[in-house]
Amino acid sequence: MTAKADASPARLTFGKKLRAARRAKDMTLEDLAEASGMNWSYISQVESGHRNIAVDNMWKLAQGLGVELKELL
């Protein structure tokens, strides 16, 4: 986990928009974890800006939500 204090604005924006998009689709963390093939607690940390997530995983989460990645930035 990387300190949120060092997080870029883009990391924080991605986390917030990911959470908002997930909730807008009434998906739980577990639902998105299953849809994206990732761990729900990792996703929670991404949403709160505590993970400097890499582009391939960003893409998997966007795919799991059924949205374009650029909509989450």
25 contacts 72 by C-beta, under 8 angstroms: no
Q: Does 33 bind its own copies (CB under 8 A)?
A: no
Nearer to its own copies, 33 or 49 (CB): 49
Q: At its nearest, how many Å lie between its own copies and the CB of residue 46?
A: 9
End-to-end CA distance of the chain: 21
Residue 62 touching its own copies (CB under 8 A): yes
Task: Single out the residue of 52, 73, 51 nearest to residue 62, CA to CA.
Answer: 73
- Decide if residue 8 touches its own copies (CB under 8 A): yes
The reply on whether position 14 binds its own copies by CB under 8 A is yes
For the record, the structure tokens of 46 come out as 């991404």
**Which tokens is 3 given?**
């300190």
Footprint of its own copies (CB under 8 A): 6-11, 14, 52-56, 58-60, 62, 69-70, 73
